[in-house]
Structure 1
Amino acid sequence: MLLTTKFLRPASDSRAVQRERLSALLTPGQPKRLNLVIAPAGFGKTTLASQWCARTTGSIAWLSLDEHDNEPRRFWQYVASAFEHAGLTGLDACHQNLANSTDNSLENAITALINALANDDTPWVLVLDDFQFIFANEIQRQFAYFIDYLPAGVTITLVSRTEPALPLARWRVRGWLQEVHPALLAFSENESREFFHNTMGLAISEAQIQAIFQRTEGWVAAMQLTALSGHKTGSPRDQPAPTSQQPTLSLNQQHISDYVLTEVLDKQPPETVSFLLDTACCTRLCASLCDSIRHADDSQEKLEHLLAKNLFLIPLDNHNEWFRYHDLFRDALLQKFAASDALRAQQLRERAITWLLHHGQIQEAIAQIVQKEDWPWLAEVLATHGNKLIHGGFHLPVLDWLNALPEHQITGNAQLQMLRVWGLFFANRLVQLEPLLSHVESLLQPGSETLNHDTESAPGLKSEISLIRSYLARSRSTDKNASDLTRQVLAEIDHTRIPLKSVTYYGLGLDDYGSGNLTGAEKSLKAAVHYGQIERKPSTVLSSGGLLAWIQYNRGDMDLALQTCTEVRQWVDGHYADPTQPRLISCWLSAALTEIHRECNQLQDAAAHLEPLLEHVNKGAEPGQYVIIQHVRGHLAFSEGHYQQAIEFLEDADTVARKRREHIVFEPPASSALLARCYLAIGETARARQILEAEDTRAVTNPLNREQNSISYARLLVAEGNPEPALALVTALIPDTEDNEHIRHKVEALLVCGDALALQNRTEQSQERIARALSLAADSGFMRLLTEESPRLQRLLRANAFLSSGGYWQQSVAEMLANQDDNDSTNSTPTGSEPGAEAMTLAEPLSQREREVLELINAGHANKDIAVHMGVAPATVKAHIRNLYGKLGVGRRTEALARARELGILSL
């Protein structure tokens, strides 16, 4: 006798989350014959199938299987009876064959069932729930025969915790199979929100929903157990509708652990349970790691078995090498193991940590050491691996781990204190370094306990102290002291055990770059890249290679600069490509690539290289990096003709560079020069002069920055109609650019020289200077800088015979200049002027941004609100207001509004 209740489909809850995206996958259609819904316990497989059936028209048969149905005759009796219970007729032959069969072949009975479905000639759906109970080889073979010969219009849906041993690959190729796997079944964030609010009637906060969703990874059962723990009494249906109150709700780990025990572990064979518990200490698993901690050699087979059984094992790659358990499942395993055999659990964890350390998985090992609070072991590992981690870009985690150590573990340890110094240095917390350095020096004094215990490390630590002091000297602009300290370290470095050559040569590169000695800087930075690769210090390789490319770009070796970036990036990605860690980003490298592609007129590529740097700006980059990023960002906006945006970015860079100078170990690019050019481009010559004559602008020490400011000042003089002093300025500058191989500046100086000569009607000399500039630009690959010059100079460029020589570079530049001319002629409004009544009465018209600020002042907004509204820094708003007051000739808000209304800029 058969249980007819097994033919009853579970009732569908109207308040349950409706999963249209998955129901659509299960919809019958040709040539599909089989839906396969596979996931671990608690992923909502049965609920999905029930919801889908409730929304599906046609004849539907349902069969809930159990462990007793793994016998061929009984299985097919239930399948045939499920169809019959749903209304299929003509099954007498099938039942007769099932009753009379003396073996397990049952082909005649199955054939009779297929014939009955074909004779019925209507669409049929059969759902077989809990198909994981059916694993007998004979049934699997028979079921494959059944699927192979199904008539058109019949769709079978298997709901299972494990993948059945059926010819799925063959059916995939034929298009017969639709698979719904755990990743699809997991709730999305929107579905999680609907589940808590509508299904469970809980008005929890958005933050709680996101936290639970991330922790459960969309595991429906874990969410339901958590929601049930939030109800004090009664069922979810008894709860009131959501209100404005937002109760506190958190994961109930005990309920989830109990569920894992009863629904998963209790139903697994002992050897599977043993493997799960033994390997639960691993946050990530591979066969080698599992073999090592278990003292076995069958772990790969075990892992593949778990994967096939869908036991909450998640692959981390495409070739089944690395895996992880679902976090909540792993937590439940750890809890059970700690309760049943705490000593073995501890031993296995220590074996796992040891394996991780020996296989270079240092961060993962340290995380486990911190979790078990083994502070002596943590101190030992940090002393051994801390330097490598810091120079690999992980200075912030190292600082966190050092802070986790008890104070007595670190106070008297010079090596750990020096790690803290390096961590703070790379975190740009320079003001905290001097007291720490003094403390480390005291620990290294003759007779101190630290020196007595570790005399070998003392020379290396002293060299590290000198190196840090050299960088601090650079931040204070005492370059001579910085260079002397750096060269002292270089002289002593071969006598130490600590690999410092890469960082030392990087310091020397910064010194030479700061002094304008680009040839010396290149040599030092190449050495820094070389030793950084030997010492396995990716952050130093990236920073040194990025600055090297930046210098090569400025020297006019753009192909070489691009090659440097590519080689450095490939080396870092080849040696540090851990997918679990964020990609190491170098400000110098990405900035150099942005500039190279911008200059080559590949603006989309330039923006793509800039994009990852903007995340650092939004999260709070170190001051030096912040200035470089905003400078490059402003230059790209300038090249695109977005002058107001460029002004905002460059003013922001200039402000940070001035206010945070003591936190920057090099003199950043001169934003003042480019900022003045932006104001020249919009016709605000007075503002450009104000910038270039500012005390801070004149106080720059880097020759590159001085040259940039001088060239911009010469452009200003030409724009004001004073070619004679402009010509004198750039004529005196050109020999310096030649001596120092500052090719980009030489090109710009020659262009401005040609512009000034043209203004004096010295046409032949003007064209000669411009031809020299074009020849240099062609050799170096500079293109975009030519289109950034004044409209008059661009006309001179278009008229120069050099561009008609027919080469690829010449054709490209000529086309770019022609396009620029078309854009200029389309806009009949003179550069820098704004249409409106104020253009007739103001010496300088208001810019678009200044008009926007004026409107917001008129609406009653404070400066900080204006900054938020416009998406700029408060300092930028103040600059706009200052300019606005100057143009209107007022000194306060009320006067500005009154004057603007008088001029008709604002309505009364």
Structure 2
Amino acid sequence: MPQRRPDSPSAATGAPSRVMAPRNKTRVVARERVVSQLIEARRKRCIVLQGPAGCGKTTTLLAWREALLPLGFDLAWLTLAPEDDDLASFIDGLVASLAQVDPAICREAAILGGRGVDDEAVERTVIALVRAIASRSTDLALVVDDLDHVTNPRSHRAFQWLIDYAPSNLHIVLVSRGSFPVSLGRLRDRDLVLELNMRDLRFTFAESAQYLRAQIGEVSEQDAREMHELTDGWVAGLQLFSMHLKRRRTTDVVAPLASMQLHDASAFGDYFERAVLSRLSATEIELLVRTSVCARLCSSLCVALVGDEQPPEDVLALLARLEADNLFIAQVERVGNETWYRLNPLFRETLLDRMRTRSEALQHAVHHAAWCWFRDHGLPEEAVRHALQAGEAAAAAELVLSVARDLQLSGDLRKLVSLIHLLPHAEIEARIDLRLWRLQLELYARDFEACAESMARLEASIPAEDIQARYRLLLLRAAVDVQRDDADSATAILPAILAAPVDATSQSIGARSNLLSWLYMRRGEYEEARAAQRDTPRPLHAGSPLMGTSAGVLNGRCLVGFSYALEGQFLQVERISREVLAEADERGSSTAEAACFAAALLGEALYEFNDITGARRLLEDRVDVLERVSIPDSVLRVHTALSAAHWAEGHRLDAFAYLERLEEYATRHGLPRLLAHSLAAQVRQHVHCGQFEDAEADLARLDTIAARLRPTRPNAWHDVHALAERSHVDWCLAHEDFEGAALRLPNLISHCSERGWQHHIVQLRMQSALVDRRRARLEAAREAALTGLRLANRLGLVRSVLDVDAGIVAFAEQVVHGMESQTHGTDTGADPVLAFYVDRLRTAQESAVALASTTNGASLQRDATPNGAETLSERETKVVSLLAQALPNKKIARTLGISPETVKWHLKNIYGKLGVSSRDEAVARVRDLGIDP
């Protein structure tokens, strides 16, 4: 979520104020008794304050907040409102409240949050938040006030995840008038919950007397006790008494109030009518009634709501008097020249009851004034809500259209989703542009079925003469092809993509360039892919380069880097990806797609250059986000690089886990090419482990995919065919069928040459050399090896060579130093360039071996006492027991009836508690601890 400047118009609105602790200018009772309890409980996982309105919950927490800050605690605050019953609004508020403490907490969550509100997206967002909080060195308290406004079961589920996954340095404070369906039983059993209800929050007699004396001066002990007993220590009731007594200064008013149950909300509302509104003039009441339609208010907004009926100075004077007399209006914040207020919720409800009795025309007029004010102050969400209540749905739809592009470019997709969901279906259907935006949001959410339906209906609805809209639909159709990894479908519409309208928008031209780059790369036309970026003017928005989104400049630079990666030119890949990643990270969530794409490319480059640990750390921190926001090609590169990195470190279970995760991703989204990459890598790892039955089963699936794709998707078939043939070569080598491997390799090398996959050619040349050596064709082996090594040296490859075979470096040394040729009396001496390159390979191999030895030996050297087992929860013990059976995440999830995301979160906690860093180490540790699967 992008962070607004404090002085921006948007910062002065209800959205920021709900994520700031309210100001407390009128607290006159210290509440040491309750605050002390809260301070003692500050390190508990959860604190619950539950009681009716006006019992001092918020005021007490403000005092606690003041006491916490000197203790090194950070505190985030979220005040919920009825509109937060919408899941998207609730999650946005949660993210925004934490961003007030540290924007870094929410960087990953904000990126995830822009991609929908399905359960998986929400759980990923929550996990991203708690991971970021766990990485902090300080404690963080999160206050969620007015939780009773949230009744949506999906919001409750999200909040349950936050509680269940909360790290030890996150302390959640729940404030509500009534009970809420969140389970705290597990935390109660561990004494990690403090619960305070009305009995705890009510004033003692001493506190009541202190409060009354502070409000009205001298009061007899008898009168103070009577008022305390009448109100049962209810703070709001005492406040009502004190207000009344300040005006009458007599005690005979107590008798009429004696029969009132002032701790009841309805009586509270009744008293507003008699004790507050009866003291105001008709014009003052009218102002308050009209302002009640808004959750937050300021003077200029109030002036707009009353129009010409009241002078602005009278509005300002009334607000000042209401605040000074503590008439249930609280100052929230001051931004620039505006002071922002919030009405007491029950007082506001009393006013709203009056508003509902007004004529429909007046209600529409007030909402019209509100929507115009919010519109003019850059607050589209509030503006749309009021426009709809004013009966101006068409104006609301036009407003959404006017802000859609800015919200997209700022990365605030969830707000755009929320705005479109607010609009009536008929208003969306009546506007082609809104339907195009809805299609784009369906694409972001990867709802391909909805995309197909929307595209078909739009195709039939857009007039032939509306060239701009038809071209935008064409680009969205191609973007769907990118997300579905269907280059063949995109190729079919390539001529139409090339034929851009003369007056095409800058965004359309940027999207066109990036689509062309991707399509040319998938066809093996790398220079054309780079030319699509080089020869196209930079897309602009409002006069500035368009950086974020799939049409932006940064994504275009990533695609150039991607073209080099497919060729195997990783020196270029590293340079481009580092530059893009630095700029994207600096710009924030608006460039999330480019940041993920650049990280995927950089991780692959780091692995290629033998920075195994660096690649793993970079990618593991981003893999969850990347799966949600990036294109399938970068998801593929991240999972294969992570698998290879773990394999090089000796973590075989983790290596398989990432391939299984890639398989799950490919299956879920219907991406056969990605599935083939996963299967091919699993075949290679299975044969290395001697798991030939598993390898054979995966090889058969790979052949089936290749056969199915050949007639229908030739572009994808080229890739899958090469994977299948390489897997057959791996199978032949594992079974020492060197003749079988020799039969397949020449055609495979030719196939890869046609596609320009140079680093694959290096690997295949080296494999061919090893095969020829085993076939006693030594001169052919030498020539093949030299050809492969020269190409590898020119490209700067390291892991592409080392991963061919464990003995590849020794073989390369023999070839380069002429040992093989000496047996034939044709010693030509060592090529100094290749000799230097092979020495680098030797150093890299020794470094990788040392790394694997270090990581594998670490778990053996750990203390074998079963301290870790004592800290595992019951669920974590079940997860780790299944882990000991080498089950992948999805099978563990299926067994326990939880989501794969939850399994991943448990694994992270398990690793931390057991003091390990991988599945392999965890399994070894479990065995040491004697946990029985």
TM-score, normalisation: structure 1: 0.54
1:254-265 equivalences under 5 Å are none
In the alignment, which residue of structure 2 is the partner of 1:816? 847
Q: Is the 8 A contact 2:667 2:675 kept in 1?
A: no
| Residues 1:692 and 2:692 are matched in the alignment | no
**Alignment counterpart, residue 676 of structure 1, candidates 654, 673, 683:** 683
Deviates more, 1:676-685 or 1:631-640: 631-640
Does residue 1:780 correspond to 2:795, yes or no? yes
SS at match of 2:494: helix
Could you tell me how far 1:779 is from its partner in structure 2? 3.8
Partner of 1:885: none
Deviations 1:193-242 (A, max 9, x none): 6999xxx9x986546999xxxxxxx99999988999xxx999599xxxxx
Question: Does 2:427 correspond to 1:409?
Answer: yes
Partners in 1 of 2:198 and 2:686 — Cα distance? 60
Offset at residue 380 of structure 1 (A): 0.5
Return 863-872 or 380-389, whichever deviates more.
863-872
Is residue 551 from structure 1 mapped to residue 566 from structure 2 by the alignment?
Answer: no
Look up the match of 1:42. Answer: 59
Listed one character per residue, the Cα deviations across residues 35-90 of structure 1 (whole Å, up to 9, x for unaligned) are: xxxx9982467789999xxxxxxxxxxxxxxxxxxxxxxxxxxxxxxxxxxxxxxx
The verdict on how the C-alpha distance between 1:379 and 1:549 changes in structure 2, with shifts beyond 3 A counting, is same
Whole-Å separation in 2 of the counterparts to 1:720 and 1:671: 22
Aligned residue identity for 1:499: Q
Match of residue 523 from structure 2:
515
Provide closer, same or farther for how the CA distance between residues 347 and 687 of structure 1 changes in structure 2, counting only shifts above 3 A.
closer
- AA of the residue aligned to 1:791: A
- Rounded Cα–Cα distance in structure 2 between residues aligned with 1:254 and 1:414: 48
Match of 1:749 in 2: 764
Distance 1:347 1:719, change over 3 A: same
Give per-residue Cα distances to partners, 1:132-187, cap 9 Å, x unaligned: xxxxxxxxxxxxxxxxxxxxxxxxxxxxxxxxxxxxxxxxxxxxxxxx99999999
Deviations 1:376-411 (A, max 9, x none): 222112333435545765555444433332233233
The structure with higher relative contact order (CA 8 Å, sep 6+) is: 2
Correspondence 1:564 to 2:571? no
Is 1:605 paired with 2:614?
A: yes
| Post-superposition offset of 1:555 | 2.1
Out of 399, 402, 412, the position equivalent to 1:384 is 402
Amino acid at match of 1:813: A
Aligned to 2:598: 589
Alpha carbons of 1:46 and 1:443: their partners in 2 closer, same or farther (altered >3 Å)?
closer
Whole-angstrom distance in 2 between the partners of 1:496 and 1:388: 18
Q: 1:872 to 1:727 in 2, by over 3 A?
A: farther
CA distance in 2, matches of 1:586, 1:442: 37
Q: Does structure 1 conserve the Cα–Cα contact (< 8 Å) formed by 2:557 and 2:576?
A: yes
Alignment deviations for residues 525-546 of structure 1 (CA, whole Å, 9 cap, x no partner): 5668943774565243355444
- Over 3 Å counting, the alpha-carbon distance change for 1:697 and 1:736 in structure 2 is closer
Identity of aligned residues (%): 14
Q: C-alpha displacement at 1:424, in angstroms?
A: 2.0
Corresponding residue number in structure 2 for 1:17: 37
- AA aligned opposite 2:490: A
Match of 1:642 in 2: 651
Kindly provide the CA deviation profile for residues 805-856 of structure 1, in whole angstroms up to 9, marking residues without a partner as x.
28995574253255379689999xxxxxxxxxxxxxxxxxxxxx9x979979
In 2, distance between residues paired with 1:285 and 1:570? 40
* Partner residue in 2 for 1:524: 532
C-alpha displacement at 1:459, in angstroms? 1.1
Aligned pairs (5 A) from 1:226-245? none
- Give the equivalent residue in structure 1 for 2:549: 538
| Partner residue in 2 for 1:436 | 454
Give how far 1:516 is off: 2.6
Kindly state the Cα deviation for residue 782 of structure 1 after the two structures are TM-superposed. Answer: 2.9
Q: 2:836 aligns with which of 772, 786, 805?
A: 805
Partner of 1:421: 439
Alpha carbons 1:672, 1:692 under 8 Å: kept: yes
SS class of match (2:615): helix
Q: Which amino acid aligns with 1:678?
A: Q
Deviation at 1:490, TM superposition (A): 2.9
1:489 aligns with 2:497: yes
Q: Which amino acid aligns with 1:757?
A: D
Distance 1:362 1:745, change over 3 A: farther
Q: In structure 1, what is the Cα distance between the partners aligned to 2:270 and 2:611?
A: 59
1:186–1:220 Cα contact (<8 Å) kept: no
Matched-pair contact (CA < 8 Å) for 1:421–1:433: yes
The reply on whether 1:718 has 2:733 as its aligned counterpart is: yes
Counterparts of residues 156-167 of structure 1 (less than 5 Å):
none
Change (3 A) 1:233 1:291: closer
Structure 2 residue 512 is matched with structure 1 residue 504: yes
Partners in 2 of 1:634 and 1:521 — Cα distance? 28
1:507 & 1:768 partners in 2: Cα distance? 40
* Rounded Cα–Cα distance in structure 1 between residues aligned with 2:561 and 2:292: 47
Q: Kindly provide the CA deviation profile for residues 555-593 of structure 1, in whole angstroms up to 9, marking residues without a partner as x.
A: 233232233334444555566667xxx955765333223
Q: CA deviation at 1:522?
A: 3.2
Query: What are structure 1's unaligned runs of at least 5 residues?
Result: 1-7, 24-38, 52-179, 211-217, 238-250, 265-274, 447-454, 828-848, 858-862, 877-906
The Cα of 1:17 is off from its aligned counterpart by 1.7
User: Does the 8 Å contact 1:192/1:209 carry over to 2?
Assistant: no
Structure 1's 292 and 418: CA in aligned 2 closer, same or farther, altered over 3 A? Answer: same
Q: Deviations over 1:709-761 (max 9, x none)?
A: 43343233222212234234334444554554422212211221232133234
Indicate the residue corresponding to 1:833 in structure 2.
Answer: none
Residues 325-364 of structure 1: pairs in structure 2 closer than 5 A: 349-350=370-371, 352-357=373-378
Per-residue CA deviations over 1:264-315 (Å, capped at 9, x if unaligned) read 9xxxxxxxxxx9999999999999999999999xx9xx99xx9xx9x98889
> How far apart in 2 are the matches of 1:772 and 1:312?
78
Tell me the amino acid that sits aligned with residue 538 of structure 1: T
**CA-to-partner distance for each residue in 1:421-465, whole Å, 9 max, x for gaps?**
22223322222344433433443447xxxxxxxx6xx11112223
Q: What SS does the aligned partner of 2:499 have?
A: helix
* Conserved? CA contact 1:554–1:742, under 8 Å: yes
**Structure ID, larger Rg:** 1
- Aligned-partner residue type, residue 461 of structure 1: A
Pairwise CA RMSD: 6.6
**Deviation, structure 1 residue 679:** 0.9
Distance 1:619 1:692 in 2: 29
TM-score scaled by length of structure 2: 0.53
In structure 2, the residue corresponding to 1:493 is in which secondary structure? coil
The whole-number CA distance in structure 1 between the counterparts of 2:29 and 2:421 is 58
* Preserved CA contact (<8 Å) 2:608 2:799: yes
Query: Secondary structure in 1 aligned to 2:500?
Result: helix
Give yes or no for contact 1:754–1:770 (8 Å, CA) kept in 2: yes
Is the 1:714–1:726 Cα contact (8 Å) retained in structure 2?
A: yes
Matched-pair contact (CA < 8 Å) for 2:408–2:549? no
Match of 1:893 in 2: none
Return closer, same or farther for 1:590/1:347 CA change in 2, 3 Å cut-off: same
Alignment partner of 1:790: what SS?
Answer: coil
One-letter amino acid matched to 2:573: A
Instruction: For residue 682 of structure 1, report the CA deviation from its aligned partner.
Output: 0.9
